[in-house]
Amino acid sequence: MKRYTLSFIVLVLAIGIPFLLINPSGKDAISGDERVTRVMLGDALTAAIRIAERNYYKPIEDPNDMFRGSIKGALASLNDPYTYYIKRRDHQRAVENLYNAEFGGLGIYIYRDHRGFIKISKPIPHTPAALANLQAGDYITKINGKRIHLSEKTGMTRDDVIDLLRGKAGTDVTITVQRKFLEPFDVTLTRAIVPIRSVKSTMLAGNIGYIQISGFIGNKEGTEVEFKNALAAHQTAGMKALILDLRDNQGGLLNAAYHIADAFIDEGLIVSTRSETNSQFNEEYRSTANILCPPDIPLVVLVNEYSASASEIVAGAIKDTRRGILVGKKTYGKGVVQKRYELPDGGSLSLTISTYYTPNGTSINEVGITPQVSIDLEEPDEIEQIMLRKVDTTDSVENFVTKWIDDAYQSPGEMPKDFSQLEPELPKLQQILTAEENVTVSIRWLTLRAERLFNLYVGIDQVVNLAYDRQLEEAIRIINADEVGKYLTPPPEETEPPSTTQANVPLEDEVITEE
SS3 readout for 327-378:
EECCCCCCCEEEEEEECCCCCEEEEEEEEEECCCCCCCCCCCCCCCEECCCC
Residue 509: what pLDDT?
A: 29
* Rounded Cα distance, 428 and 408, in Å: 16
* Rounded Cα distance, 490 and 378, in Å: 29
Residue 490: what pLDDT?
A: 62
At residue 249, φ and ψ (nearest 5 deg) are -85, 110
**Which residues are annotated as catalytic?**
309, 320, 334
* Rounded Cα distance, 72 and 367, in Å: 27
Residue 458: what pLDDT?
A: 84
Beta strands in 133-232 (DSSP E): 139-143, 146-147, 172-178, 185-190, 192-195, 199-204, 208-213
Quote the CATH superfamily of domain 199-344+357-374. Answer: 2-enoyl-CoA Hydratase; Chain A, domain 1 (3.90.226.10)
Would you give the distance in Å from CA 74 to the centre of its chain?
Answer: 27
Q: Which region holds residue 155: left if phi is over 0, alpha if psi is between -120 and 50, else beta?
A: left
Q: Which of 486, 210, 293 is nearest to 372 (CA)?
A: 486
* Rounded Cα distance, 196 and 226, in Å: 10
Q: Mean pLDDT, 10 residues at a time, over the chain (515 residues)?
A: 38 30 42 71 93 94 92 96 94 92 94 88 91 91 96 92 95 94 94 96 98 93 95 98 97 96 96 96 95 96 97 98 98 97 94 97 96 91 88 86 82 76 94 90 92 87 91 98 90 44 33 35
Residue 28: what pLDDT?
A: 53
Residue 31: what pLDDT?
A: 52
One-letter identity of residue 232: A
* Rounded Cα distance, 127 and 105, in Å: 9
Residue 221: what pLDDT?
A: 83
Whether the ω angle into residue 490 lies within 30 degrees of 0, i.e. cis, is: yes
At residue 111, φ and ψ (nearest 5 deg) are -150, 160
Angle made by CA atoms 196, 202, 205, in degrees to the nearest 5: 170
Coil, strand or helix at 102? strand
Angle made by CA atoms 176, 179, 185, in degrees to the nearest 5: 35
Coil, strand or helix at 478? helix
Q: What is the DSSP code (8-state) at residue 100?
A: I
The CATH class for the domain spanning 102-195 reads mainly beta
Coil, strand or helix at 134? coil
* Residues 164-180: b if buried by 16+ CB within 10 A, e if exposed: bbbeeeeeebebbbbbb
User: Could you give the count of Cα atoms lying within 13 Å of 515 in the half-sphere of its Cβ?
Assistant: 20
Give the domain ranges of the chain: 12-78, 102-195, 199-344+357-374, 382-464
**Cα–Cα distances in Å, from 219 out to 102, 169, 255, 384?**
11, 19, 8, 44
* Rounded Cα distance, 86 and 338, in Å: 13
Q: How many helices (H) and strands (E) does the chain have?
A: 15, 22
One-letter identity of residue 231: L
Residue 186: what pLDDT?
A: 96
